[in-house]
């Protein structure tokens, strides 16, 4: 169930955008950015507020790759799969992340810590292959770096748990 | 600050014309740092912080000013730091270099030689920039995109003033037609013609849309323009609005470009503040507003009608044309959609005498320049703008500095997923809309990927087709199912299970899909397969008949092998192997890979310090 605080935030987003003509995409983008996903319950709230059938909103949410139905992991590992990164060997890096985390692209680890996403293009082609984790960019990644990147965040978690 | 008439506008231009000279008056220096996403990813913001810190510590704020600009272009050698008025540019600057630049160059006027690129102080003299000409990229890497005043200093918005003060709408369209400008999004449709169609529609509401949904993977021209000089695009859009009689414009931009969105938002705010957007621009009867709309990661939304559907809050699925958007577009009203780069060309064209200057660049049928994101296996990766007619060879070797790591050139891909691969034989093809099309590729939006001997062309075709399969909106059967069937055939071939008849089947399917799909995405979807089939048939046949992948990419056709004579018996490979396929005794026996267990991840090879592991394919060393 969605908390009343989140509900309020969603209403605020809708209120801010609702005077635009056909504001659906902008509202969904804001919600995605704020919460990281747009599940059915949220879609129903938007549907009611905009007076659009929820089926239509579901259609839109599932059409665009930027929108997600499910929450993602705490650390989202995004591997760029633009052509520049591809010709420099991104596939091997994706395979290695999947191998190490035992999930497929688009999935989240059971502990909720990591998700692997495939990005179309970050636009930083001179740094290919590029991996980003929650926005932090790792340039010129090699297969051998994959372990180090995962470890960096696992260590961070351990440290945080010790401190708390 | 608001500009109410043309005189006030001219005052702004005069007032700001010496802005760059003022900054460096009385021995002052300006430090320009590339703040484009590419260099930011390479830590350039930290460089600014560090400079600011040093300057503040020594209380030298009145002597030094640090600014972030747009893309310098030469991305693979970034981040760049340029010191003005000395016109000295440092490349690959790291945080630890800042102190030296500060102490040596800024305080003592001694140039830090080791950070110069090829010992050249003035970087504009190097080969990379030599053959370039900046029209659409005017201002990129020069101005601070956050300051509209700097845009005035390079005569920003003067083309708009000229249009509003001395040209009718129709005259503007005539000049655009006369310039020969063709759409830079890839299609190459004459911009003036598109505008004229919209102009001729009787409708109280018309719209201008800027297509900034740069979906071509491996391309970043539009992003760089929007981050480097967003005002050129805004000015172009206002002019378009004036020309066709629209009062509202939308920029449809990828949500994946947060930094470009931010810079555009700031630029729009500034333009409103100066009265260059909004009601009665420069005191005329003409009013124009621009709003940002975000895309959400769908390649097909680069197609005009799909883009419109997306703004309308629907799934981004294309519709049949005609009616063309110029007649019936956004919310059923006449709408012109132009690409970012097309708009960025307009301020140049519509300045006094601009048409002639523009026409003097380029080829007979393709005028002006084209911006490319040059990437892949070349030495100099970056953003380049070249006159139309420049050859692919000049682009790769003179500007791109040749193939990286002394490898052999294999193919150049233009036009992204809708384009094709060209080979050595095509290198002297001049870059223009028609020549590239005649060679079986296309101009596209400007992504150029150079490939070397280590790229397998079947794998490349597979890469693009996979992309298309995922991005197909699903509306038409040939595109939705046909491309999937094609991908299956390619997978069969790269798995070593292909038959020669598969090639005919691929060709047949490709032609059905091209003919029977509704939109440009579907119609061009088979191009990467067709062009590789045409130019690299030998490689397809090798995969099928000899089970050989000469680039050693297709996993089913390669084997990893430890060369016993080269093995140092250290056992590092065995430690890294995730499936325990490598055995041996440290210090005693060379290690060996069990081909049954090996999953061909390549970890052993990338971790072997002695290069003792090789890949083999086909009949080679296949024991």
DSSP string covering B480-528: IIIHHHHHHHHHHHHTT---HHHHHHHHHHHHHHHHH-SSHHHHHTTHH
3-state secondary structure of B447: strand
Is B3 within the bounds of a domain? no
Tell me the average pLDDT across B506-510.
97
Residues B182 and B277 in one domain: yes
Residue B273 near residue B231 (C-beta atoms within 8 A): no
Residues B354 and B263 in one domain: yes
CATH number at residue B502: 1.20.1440.230
Q: How far apart are CA B602 and CA B253, in angstroms?
A: 38
Residue B196 near residue B173 (C-beta atoms within 8 A): yes
Nearest to B78 among A22, A60, A126 (CB): A126
Residue B511 near residue B534 (C-beta atoms within 8 A): no
Nearest chain A CA: its distance from B607 CA (Å): 7
CATH number at residue B39: 3.40.30.10
Nearest chain B CA: its distance from A6 CA (Å): 22
Which A positions 113-152 lie with beta carbon below 8 A of chain B? 119-128, 130, 137, 139, 142-144
Q: Which of A16, A37, A125, A139 would you mutate first to test chain B, the one with the most B CBs within 10 A?
A: A125
Is B143 within the bounds of a domain? no
Residues B192 and B325 in one domain: yes
Q: What is the DSSP letter of B552?
A: S
Residue B84 near residue B90 (C-beta atoms within 8 A): no
CATH number at residue B575: 3.30.70.20
Residue count of chain B, please give it: 623
Give, rounded to a whole angstrom, the gap between the first and last alpha carbons of chain A.
27
Q: According to the model, what pLDDT value does residue B613 have?
A: 95
Which backbone phi and psi does B335 adopt, to 5 degrees?
Answer: -140, 130
Among A154-163, B62-71, B317-326, name the one with the lowest average pLDDT: A154-163
Q: Find chain B residues with C-beta within 8 A of A125's C-beta.
A: 38, 75, 218, 220, 373, 375, 381
Asked if the Cβ–Cβ distance from A126 to B75 is below 8 Å, we say yes
Q: According to the model, what pLDDT value does residue B620 have?
A: 61
Q: For B2-50, how does the pLDDT look when each residue is reduced to its tens digit (9 = 90+)?
A: 999 999 999 999 999 999 998 888 889 999 999 998 899 888 999 999 9
Residues B192 and B116 in one domain: no
Q: According to the model, what pLDDT value does residue B622 have?
A: 44
Is B15 within the bounds of a domain? no
> What number of C-beta contacts closer than 8 Å exist between A and B?
147
Residues B446 and B466 in one domain: no
Q: How far apart are CA A45 and CA A59, in angstroms?
A: 15
Tell me the average pLDDT across B181-202.
95
Structure-token pair, residue B468: 């298309």
Asked if the Cβ–Cβ distance from B42 to A99 is below 8 Å, we say no
Q: Find chain B residues with C-beta within 8 A of A142's C-beta.
A: 606
Domain end: B337, B359, B381, which one? B359
Q: For B537-571, how does the pLDDT look when each residue is reduced to its tens digit (9 = 90+)?
A: 999 999 999 999 999 999 999 999 999 999 999 99
Architecture of the domain defined by A75-163: 3-Layer(aba) Sandwich (3.40)
Question: Based on the structure, what is the number of domains in chain B?
Answer: 5
Q: Find chain A residues with C-beta within 8 A of B602's C-beta.
A: 92, 143
Residues B238 and B343 in one domain: yes
* Percent of chain B topping pLDDT 90: 89
Q: How far apart are CA B216 and CA B302, in angstroms?
A: 9
Q: For B582-619, how does the pLDDT look when each residue is reduced to its tens digit (9 = 90+)?
A: 999 999 999 999 999 998 988 899 889 999 999 999 86
Nearest to A125 among B214, B220, B460 (CB): B220
Asked if the Cβ–Cβ distance from B256 to A67 is below 8 Å, we say no
CATH number at residue B265: 3.40.50.11540
Using 50, 70 and 90 to split pLDDT, how confident is the model at B297? confident
Asked if the Cβ–Cβ distance from A88 to B377 is below 8 Å, we say yes
Nearest to A29 among B223, B255, B376 (CB): B255
The interaxial angle of helices B169-179 and B340-349, nearest 10 deg, is: 100
Q: According to the model, what pLDDT value does residue B623 have?
A: 43
Locate the chain B residue with the closest alpha carbon to A68: B296
Q: How far apart are CA B49 and CA A141, in angstroms?
A: 26
Residue B217 near residue A82 (C-beta atoms within 8 A): yes
Residue B577 has pLDDT above 60, yes or no: yes
Residues B93 and B114 in one domain: yes
Nearest chain B CA: its distance from A7 CA (Å): 22
Nearest chain B CA: its distance from A18 CA (Å): 12
Chain B interface includes A46 (CB < 8 A): no
Nearest to B314 among A60, A84, A88 (CB): A60
Q: Which residues pair with B335 in a beta bridge?
A: B207
Is B373 within the bounds of a domain? yes
Mean pLDDT estimate for chain B: 94
Q: According to the model, what pLDDT value does residue A156 have?
A: 93
Residues B379 and B349 in one domain: no
Among B342-346, B348-352, B378-382, name the one with the lowest average pLDDT: B378-382
Q: According to the model, what pLDDT value does residue B81 have?
A: 96
Is B622 within the bounds of a domain? no
Asked if the Cβ–Cβ distance from A24 to B449 is below 8 Å, we say no
Nearest to A139 among B41, B219, B413 (CB): B41
Asked if the Cβ–Cβ distance from A123 to B38 is below 8 Å, we say yes
Asked if the Cβ–Cβ distance from A25 to B311 is below 8 Å, we say yes
Is B137 within the bounds of a domain? no
Nearest chain B CA: its distance from A81 CA (Å): 8
Cβ neighbours for B368, distance < 8 A, ≥ 6 positions apart:
B135, B179, B180, B181, B345, B358, B361, B362, B387, B388
Q: Find chain A residues with C-beta within 8 A of B291's C-beta.
A: 20
Q: Find chain B residues with C-beta within 8 A of A96's C-beta.
A: 601, 603
Locate the chain A residue with the closest alpha carbon to B42: A139
Q: Find chain B residues with C-beta within 8 A of A38's C-beta.
A: none
Q: According to the model, what pLDDT value does residue B621 have?
A: 47
Closest CA to B209 of B349, B326, B350, B345: B326
Tell me the average pLDDT across B132-152.
95
Closest CA to B417 of B439, B392, B447: B447
Locate the chain A residue with the closest alpha carbon to B474: A63
Closest CA to B209 of B164, B244, B167: B244
The three-point CA angle B398-A82-B39 to 5° equals: 65
Q: Find chain B residues with C-beta within 8 A of A85's C-beta.
A: 218
Nearest chain B CA: its distance from A164 CA (Å): 30
Helices (H) and strands (E) in chain B, counts: 28, 17
CATH number at residue B377: 3.10.20.600
Where are the domains positioned within chain A? 4-63, 75-163
Closest CA to A29 of B215, B256, B37, B301: B256
Nearest to A125 among B214, B373, B576 (CB): B373
Residue A143 has pLDDT above 70, yes or no: yes
Give the count of beta carbons closer than 10 Å to the beta carbon of residue B441. 25
Q: According to the model, what pLDDT value does residue A124 have?
A: 82
Residues B429 and B461 in one domain: no
3-state secondary structure of B384: strand
Asked if the Cβ–Cβ distance from A85 to B310 is below 8 Å, we say no
Residues B269 and B235 in one domain: yes
Chain B interface includes A92 (CB < 8 A): yes
Cite the beta strand spans of B177-218 per DSSP E.
207-212
Residues B431 and B536 in one domain: no
Asked if the Cβ–Cβ distance from B256 to A122 is below 8 Å, we say yes
Asked if the Cβ–Cβ distance from A86 to B463 is below 8 Å, we say yes
3-state secondary structure of B79: coil
Residues B178 and B262 in one domain: yes
Domain holding B38, by residue range, is 25-84+88-121
Chain B interface includes A34 (CB < 8 A): no
Asked if the Cβ–Cβ distance from B216 to A130 is below 8 Å, we say no
Residue A123 has pLDDT above 80, yes or no: no
Tell me the average pLDDT across B510-524.
94
Chain B interface includes A30 (CB < 8 A): no
């Amino acid at each position: 169930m969605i908390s009343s605080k989140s509900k309020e935030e969603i209403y605020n987003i809708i209120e801010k955008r609702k005077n635009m003509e056909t504001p659906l995409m902008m509202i969904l983008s804001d919600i995605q950015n704020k919460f990281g996903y747009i599940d059915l319950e949220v879609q129903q709230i938007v549907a009611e507020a905009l007076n659009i059938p929820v089926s239509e909103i579901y259609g839109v949410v599932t059409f665009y790759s930027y929108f997600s139905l499910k929450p993602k992991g705490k650390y989202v590992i995004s591997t760029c799969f633009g052509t520049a990164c591809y010709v420099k060997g991104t596939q091997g890096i994706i395979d290695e992340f999947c191998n190490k985390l035992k999930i497929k692209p688009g999935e989240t680890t059971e502990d909720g810590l990591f998700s692997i996403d495939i990005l179309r293009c970050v636009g930083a082609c001179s740094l290919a292959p590029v991996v980003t984790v929650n926005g932090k960019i790792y340039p010129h990644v090699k297969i051998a770096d994959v372990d180090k990147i995962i470890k960096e965040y696992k260590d961070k978690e351990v440290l945080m748990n010790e401190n708390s | 600050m608001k500009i109410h008439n043309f005189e006030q506008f001219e005052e702004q231009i005069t007032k700001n014309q010496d802005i760059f000279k003022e900054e460096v008056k009385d021995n002052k220096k300006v430090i320009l740092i590339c703040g484009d996403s590419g260099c930011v990813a390479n830590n350039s913001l930290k460089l600014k912080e560090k400079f600011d810190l040093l300057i503040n510590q020594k209380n030298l704020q009145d002597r030094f000013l640090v600014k972030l600009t747009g893309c310098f272009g030469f991305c693979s050698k970034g981040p760049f730091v340029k010191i003005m008025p000395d016109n000295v540019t440092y490349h690959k600057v790291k945080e630890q270099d800042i102190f030296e630049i500060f102490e040596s160059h800024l305080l003592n006027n001694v140039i830090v030689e080791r950070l110069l690129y090829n010992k050249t102080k003035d970087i504009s003299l190097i080969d990379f920039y030599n053959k370039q000409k900046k029209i659409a990229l005017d201002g990129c890497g020069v101005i601070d995109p956050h300051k509209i005043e700097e845009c005035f200093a390079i005569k920003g918005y003067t083309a708009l003033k000229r249009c509003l003060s001395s040209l009718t709408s129709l005259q503007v369209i005539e000049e655009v037609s006369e310039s020969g400008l063709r759409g830079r999004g890839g299609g190459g449709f004459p911009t003036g013609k598109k505008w004229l169609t919209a102009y001729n529609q009787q409708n109280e509401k018309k719209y201008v849309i800027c297509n900034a949904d740069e979906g071509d993977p491996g391309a970043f021209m539009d992003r760089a323009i929007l981050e480097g000089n967003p005002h050129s695009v805004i000015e172009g859009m206002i002019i378009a609005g004036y020309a066709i009689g629209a009062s509202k414009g939308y920029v449809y931009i990828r949500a994946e470009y947060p930094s470009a969105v931010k810079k555009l938002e700031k630029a729009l705010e500034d333009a409103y503040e100066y009265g260059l957007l909004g009601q009665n621009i420069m005191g005329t009867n003409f009013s124009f507003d621009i709003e940002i709309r975000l895309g959400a990661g769908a390649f097909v939304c680069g197609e005009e009608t799909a883009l419109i559907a997306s703004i309308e809050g629907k799934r981004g699925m294309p519709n049949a044309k005609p009616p063309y958007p110029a007649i019936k577009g956004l919310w059923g009203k006449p709408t012109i959609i132009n690409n970012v780069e097309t708009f960025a060309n307009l301020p140049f064209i519509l300045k006094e005498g601009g048409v002639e200057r523009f026409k003097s660049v380029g080829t007979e049928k393709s005028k002006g320049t084209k911006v490319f994101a040059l990437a892949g296996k070349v030495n100099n990766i970056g953003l380049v703008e070249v006159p139309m007619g420049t050859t692919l060879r000049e682009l790769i070797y003179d500007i791109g500095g040749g193939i990286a790591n002394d490898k052999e050139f294999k193919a150049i891909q233009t036009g992204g997923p809708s384009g094709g691969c060209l080979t050595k034989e095509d290198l002297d093809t001049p870059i223009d809309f028609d020549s590239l099309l005649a060679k079986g590729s296309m101009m596209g939006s400007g992504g150029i990927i150079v490939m070397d001997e280590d790229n397998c062309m079947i794998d490349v075709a597979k890469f693009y087709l996979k992309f298309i399969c995922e991005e197909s909106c699903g509306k038409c059967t040939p595109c939705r199912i046909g491309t999937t069937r094609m991908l299956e055939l390619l997978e069969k071939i790269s798995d070593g299970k292909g038959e020669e008849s598969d090639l005919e089947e691929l060709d047949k399917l490709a032609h059905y899909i091209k003919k029977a799909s509704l939109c440009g995405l579907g119609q061009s979807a088979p191009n990467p397969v067709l062009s590789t089939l045409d130019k690299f048939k030998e490689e397809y046949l090798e995969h099928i008949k000899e089970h050989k992948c000469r680039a050693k990419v297709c996993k089913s056709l390669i084997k990893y092998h430890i060369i016993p004579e080269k093995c140092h018996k250290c056992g590092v490979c065995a430690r890294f192997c995730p499936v325990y396929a490598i055995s041996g005794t440290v210090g005693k026996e060379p290690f060996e890979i069990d081909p049954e267990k090996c999953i061909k991840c390549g970890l052993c090879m990338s971790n072997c310090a002695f290069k003792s592991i090789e890949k083999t394919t086909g009949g080679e060393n296949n024991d």
